[in-house]
Structure 1
């Protein structure tokens, strides 16, 4: 098992890794919007999604992968009403690539955020 660290991103606040490479796959932990000086939970849903996908891209690149290598994505979103906007943002980020996906509406997420995403990608040899 190889631990993946993403330069430029803060270290995880809990007892976990940003990502782990094992058995030919890269497993990204759940990614919340990046915390900045202001309260990120007050950012719009699309701004939070942009932050999450930017971080996922950085983590994937640190592992030698990209969005085209993602085989599965799970998204947790607060409120089913955000589903169409999430779907549009997701489609822009992935383009023609369509990995397996689950979108799970939830009542709340940690720190008051509105979106959390985890992914699995095929590792590059």
Structure 2
């Protein structure tokens, strides 16, 4: 069984240490990314919803790149929304800027009532290219 390896972008190490979890775990050729939110550098929520979503996707990009992958390597997406009906159009617009050509990853969107002050969160599973 492959040993798990923590993946944390260098710019966010203190934040992950403070909250005692990893941005992602690499196990073999799979990368399991923790939920990414639109947090400012100090960890506080970005108040503008579209900017928060864009920042969450940027945080996701940073984690993927730290593991040697990108958006094209994602196989599974789960998003969490505090108001799905009002937010979905904005999320889909930002997502379409990041996600490449078909085949698209599978995607599950979940409505929730609480995200620790955030309105959107995204977590993924990706396959790490050339992981041996």
TM value normalised by structure 1: 0.88
Q: Is the 2:71–2:100 contact (alpha carbons within 8 Å) kept by the matching residues of 1?
A: no
Q: Please report how far the alpha carbon of residue 36 of structure 1 lies from its aligned counterpart in structure 2 after TM superposition.
A: 4.1
Q: How many Å separate the matches in 2 of 1:17 and 1:116?
A: 16
Find the residue that maps to 2:110 and give its secondary structure.
Answer: strand
Q: Is residue 64 from structure 1 mapped to residue 65 from structure 2 by the alignment? A: no
Q: Tell me the residue number matched to 1:8.
A: 11
Runs of 5+ in structure 2 lacking a partner? none
Q: Is the 2:36–2:56 contact (alpha carbons within 8 Å) kept by the matching residues of 1?
A: yes
Q: Please report how far the alpha carbon of residue 30 of structure 1 lies from its aligned counterpart in structure 2 after TM superposition.
A: 0.8
Supply the RMSD in Å over aligned alpha carbons. Answer: 1.8
Q: How many Å separate the matches in 2 of 1:40 and 1:107?
A: 16
1:13-28 map, 5 Å: 13-28=18-33
Count of aligned pairs between the two proteins: 123
Q: Is residue 115 from structure 1 mapped to residue 113 from structure 2 by the alignment? A: no
Q: Tell me the residue number matched to 2:49.
A: 45
Q: How many Å separate the matches in 2 of 1:67 and 1:14?
A: 26
Q: How many Å separate the matches in 2 of 1:122 and 1:24?
A: 6
Runs of 5+ in structure 1 lacking a partner? none
Q: How many Å separate the matches in 2 of 1:55 and 1:39?
A: 13
Detail structure 1 runs of 4+ shifted over 6 Å in the superposition. none
* Cα 1:64–1:105 shift into 2, 3 Å: same
